Structure 1
Amino acid sequence: MAAAEIAAAAEEKFRGKLSASCIAVVVVLVGLPLWWKTTETYRASLPYSQISELDLLLLDISVPVEVVFARGTLTAEQQKKLLPQTQFSQKQNQLDGKTGFKYRYEKTYRAVTGLEQDAIMSKNVEGAVVTLSQVYESSAGLVVIYVVPADSQLLPDEVTVYIGKHRACFLRSPVTGSHSVEDVLQDIDDSIEEILQTMSFTDDMVVAALSSRVPSGTIGTDSLTASTTAFKSSLGYEITFSLLNPDPKSHDVCWDIEQAVNNYVQPFLDKLSFVANFSVDSQILYYAVLGVTPRFDKTSSSFSLTEDSLPHVINPVEAKLGSNVASSYPVLNFLLYVPEYSHSPLYIRDSSGSPVESNAFHSSRWGGIMIYNVDHQQLNETRLPVPVKVDVARVMEVFLAQLRLLMGIQKVQPPPETVIQSPGNMVVTDWETDRLLWVRTVENIATATNTLTSLVQLIDEIGNIVINDNIASEVYSAVASVQRSLQELEAGRLMPAFQASKKAITSSEKAFFDPSLLHLLYFPDDQKFAIYIPLFLPMCVPIVLSLLKTGMDCKWRRKVD
């Protein structure tokens, strides 16, 4: 009986040890991996190597140029040696260790066609511009230079270069029959270089577009000014026209802003519709003052705002503008201010004390303000309030000039003996649009690469960030779009390069600002332990004690044996 009980007790003790061992094995081999897998932060795979390559950005830009020789500009021997021919001239600018750019002009020399020659033979240069634009449809980024004979009557005698409103210009030939082919190329290239600096981008423009990637100390003053005047590239802009009437008891102001926008602003926005989406709204604000007391000038019996006081005008006014639509797009504010009766007339004066002709000023990356004076004599002779009908043509002329600057269309200073055709109803010329596209494409690429590299750095520094499949898809799309845009720039295809850069901006910002990135950001590891320890500790204590007891028994048996 005693032997049977001892055997049963030993068997029971063995089963207990076996159970504890099996539970420990299951916990270690199954429980821990399962717990680790189900509680880990999910991160989809990202193209880290490709993003690191994009962090080293060396742009390669190709500008296609066609040089077309009209009849009578080259001798038969010169034409035989020179046409057709393609040449390249390349320049490089390394901004820092990670960022730089190089660009080359791909110049193709050819003879004029019959239809082009007929247009050049006319004595009306503006008509020739229209005819050539209909005969020869040029792509974005292309510059066409027509070399006309030195005695051509197409250009006035004092004009050497005439830049049309499309993508073509006329150059009076500096070539004579005694020139060799090398001399011809040298003389033509000197003139072409000046034309391209006007009709295409410049070094300063590209440097300004890359300013987000380069330390501020490495950027020159001219480039920095160009980069801070215009708004940064965006997928959309909101334009707000505001009429400020601080003294409605004296002035009953009305303006036909809807017709003014349709007649003057909308053609400009339609021309840039492929660059970004635009929305326009307007408002009238009463009792809204500038916040700066103007000075009275006894000599002119008028009030004035000095150049130093203009920066203090914007903040008090901006607080009253508000916003009709909640949007993440930048807002361009254009304010028309009718001075109150006690401060009329009011003029803006420059540093020398002279009145500014437009009586307006603009603020970088914000908008513009124009002061609209009412006839002082009318105020004295008419019962108040005086009805005031705004001359919207004069106002919109000023606002359009400011809008061009804020959108990055800088005013070009032509070289001597150069005439630039007015855009007329086009509002903005084709080559001005191309200049803007070159800059915006480079700026989009720089912004997208910055966003992608910042996202990778954020992921490396914070382990709790979740990367779901949607974010990974957007990252892959952004990387592919940047690479495609770089390839298109290298091939000289401006419009496809710009469209790809817009896609890169959209995808990279969707990935970087995705709300799911913050799901576990405020759930650190110490909180995880605070949750899991009360759950697993009561279960693990008896298992660990059983394993310790089993180990001690095994050790005691070895000593006995």
Structure 2
Amino acid sequence: MAAPGAAATDLEVVRGKRAALFFAAVVIVLGLPLWWKTTETYRAPLPYSQISGLNSLQLRLMVPVTVVFTQESVPLDDQEKLPFTVVHEREIPLKYKLKIKCRFQKAYRRAMDHEEEALSLGSIQEAETMFAEPSEQAEGSLTVYVISEHSSLLPQPHFRGEPSSTQPGVQAAFDPQMPLASLTPVFIGYEITFSLLNPDPKSHDVHWDIEGAVRRYVQPFLNALRAVGNFSVDSQILYYAVLGVNPRFDPASSSYYLAAHSLPHVINPVESRLGSSAASLYPVLNFLLYVPELAHSPLYIQDKDGAPVATNAFHSPRWGGIMVYNVDPKAYNGSELPVRVKVDMVRVMEVFLAQLRLLFGIAQPQLPPKCLFSGPKSEGIMSWELDRLLWARSVENLATATTTLTSLAQLLGKISNIVIKDDVASEVYRAVAAVQKAAEELASGHLASAFVASQEAVTSSERAFFDPSLLHLLYFPDDQKFAIYIPLFLPMAVPILLSLFKIFLETRKSWKKPEKID
């Protein structure tokens, strides 16, 4: 029979073992999972499979084309075949689909009855109004009128007394053959600054009606482009601002000139005086009107062949343009200095609008034989030019959004300790849905809605990619986490581990001890 002291000792040992096992169970079952869950990097789920599928997304552009025939432009044998619709599809390398609808002009007889009135219009816009359908033409659609070349209804080109949509002779500041780099295809704001540079105010008292010129010429053009971005326009006058490049004197013409190779060196010294780029959060387009000082007048710009540029201006992609405005030499006859100079804003705005069109990638295409484009409107941009710009911007936006989402998915897949918050995940989901919607709208021929969706795709993808929360734990890897928590948990873990080890040894010893047989 065991002694009472030995029984009490055995009971204490059993209680100690149970307490050690209880603490170990609490730490392993509850403590470690709770610690791991509360210290893990939160990563909201992302549509990785859909993002990877964007790389194989085939863009398809559908362009509705309406071909309108007059009766005399189609042979009698073929008139019975109208109207009809044909679909032409091609891939070069972007797949596009032309849905061509051919029909007779319903108002042809009415136009013939008023043929003399149509001739008196003398405007292609008014002639198109006579031939047009009552319904308004949708974005992205084209209408081609087929008129016999012998018909008196054929409209003639008409030029208004407003700034033309294109201006020949605008010299590029760099290689004239290089493709024009477009602006950032994101729906953001653009700041347009018109600056008058008067380096010699003692000789020239320059006045320009920039407010009236912007209101009459620039603002209608920007209103037509309001779908591309938001624009703000300001102006300034800078005195004693020189170009920074000494012009060369030409004895043959008694004038000064700037060679084409020196034009890139003109921009940097002038840009430091503008100050608009440092104060603006948006891309800035600078348009400078430079009145040469009296010592370097007249001043002309030469192209790469040494010939004078007709507009006496040059532009730089993504930056803006500069025009040199020479003072009429007759103004100095019998006049005291400073000479009052009144700038011809029509001539200046023709150049600046042409440069603005080039900066947005709106170039005049080559005319096919016997084809006549609709004339420029007062906005300085035609509807088909705006459609082509929206097509290009939509494709660029989709490419940018796809690249951004793919890069973000690869980055988050490689670095596991980057936090992915719910708002970042929602932006990613929104961007993926917008890309898919834009592709569907382009394939359906809905250009306006496709462009809006592509803008949303770019905006959401870049918001997710540049979200500052992604960098919160980027420099806190797992090894640093263990280095911080081990000194805290080790003093508590050592007694528990030693107790478990002692229990294991005693249990193992009791298993090996032979039982006594009475």
Does residue 265 of structure 2 align to residue 312 of structure 1? yes
Corresponding position of 2:18: 18
Distance 1:547 1:279, change over 3 A: same
Partner of 2:448: 495
Cα distance, 1:248 vs structure 2 = 2.6
Which of 277, 298, 314 matches 2:230? 277
* 1:141 is the counterpart of 2:140: yes
Match of 1:267 among 216, 220, 226: 220
> 2:102 corresponds to which residue?
109
C-alpha contact 2:277 2:283 (8 A) present in aligned 1: no
Q: Provide, for residues 382-439 of structure 1, a one-character-per-residue CA deviation record: whole Å limited to 9, x for no partner.
A: 3333332222221111000000111121112212333334314131111111111111
CA contact under 8 A between 2:289 and 2:322: conserved in structure 1? Answer: yes
- The 1:555/1:135 distance shift into structure 2, 3 A limit, reads same
SS at match of 2:489: helix
- After TM superposition, the structure 1 stretch with the greater mean CA deviation from structure 2, 401-410 or 117-126, is 117-126
- Deviations 1:267-320 (Å, cap 9, x if unpaired)? 000111122111111222222221211111111111111000111111222222
Q: Distance in 2 between matches of 1:441 and 1:496?
A: 10
Corresponding residue number in structure 2 for 1:216:
none
- 2:209 match: 256
Does 1:409 find its partner at 2:362? yes
CA contact (8 A) 1:163 1:421 kept: no
Q: Does 1:338 find its partner at 2:287? A: no
Look up the equivalent residue of 1:525 and give its one-letter code. D
Change (3 A) 1:60 1:368: same
Is the partner of 1:426 in helix, strand or coil? coil
CA contact (8 A) 1:51 1:479 kept: yes
User: Structure 1's 259 and 229: CA in aligned 2 closer, same or farther, altered over 3 A?
Assistant: same
Is the 1:119–1:128 contact (alpha carbons within 8 Å) kept by the matching residues of 2?
A: no
More off after superposition, 317-326 vs 232-241:
317-326
Residue 58 of structure 2: SS of its match in structure 1? Answer: strand
SS at the partner of 1:466?
coil
Tell me what 2:110 maps to.
118
Q: Is structure 2 residue 186 aligned with structure 1 residue 234?
A: yes
Cα deviation digits, residues 31-87 of structure 1 (max 9, x gap): 11111111111111111111111112321111111122222333554222x222211
Q: Which residue of the partner structure matches residue 397 of structure 1?
A: 350
1:90 and 1:512 mapped to 2: Cα distance? 36
Counterpart for residue 164 of structure 2: none
- Specify the SS of the correspondent of 1:450: helix
- Distance, in Å, in 1 between the alignment partners of 2:159 and 2:289 is 33
Identity %: 58
In structure 2, stretches of 5+ residues that fail to align are 161-174
The corresponding residue for 2:168 is none
Query: In terms of Rg, which structure is larger?
Result: 2
Residues paired across the two proteins, number? 492
Give the SS at the match of 2:59.
strand
Secondary structure at the aligned position of 1:419 is classed as coil
TM-score by length of 2: 0.89
Q: How does 1:25-174 map to 2 (within 5 A)?
A: 25-80=25-80, 82-94=81-93, 101-113=94-106, 115=107, 117-119=109-111, 122=115, 123-124=118-119, 126=124, 127-133=126-132, 135-155=134-154
Using a 3 Å threshold, how does the CA distance of structure 1 residues 426 and 538 change in structure 2: closer, same or farther?
Answer: same
SS in 2 for 1:373: coil
C-alpha spacing 1:27/1:423, structure 2 compared with 1 (3 Å)? same
Q: Do the aligned residues in 1 keep the contact of 2:195 with 2:237 (CA within 8 Å)?
A: yes
Q: Distance in 1 between matches of 2:326 and 2:447?
A: 45
Change (3 A) 1:546 1:515: same
Aligned to 1:190: none
Please tell me the residue identity of whatever aligns with 2:66.
E
Aligned 8 A contact 2:186 2:459 in 1: no
> Conserved in 2, the CA contact under 8 Å of 1:244 and 1:338?
yes
Q: How does 1:530-541 map to 2 (within 5 A)?
A: 530-541=483-494
Separation in structure 2 between the aligned mates of residue 509 and residue 116 of structure 1, nearest angstrom: 52
**Structure 2 CA distance for aligned equivalents of residues 545 and 435 of structure 1:** 77
| Deviation of 1:118 (Å) | 2.5
**Amino acid in the other structure paired with 2:238:** L
Which 5+ residue runs of structure 1 have no aligned equivalent? 95-100, 166-220
Give yes or no for contact 2:217–2:379 (8 Å, CA) kept in 1: no
Shift of 1:92: 0.9
**2:275 is the alignment partner of 1:322:** yes
Q: What's the Cα RMSD here? A: 2.6
In the alignment, which residue of structure 2 is the partner of 1:438?
391
TM-score, structure 1 length as denominator?
A: 0.82
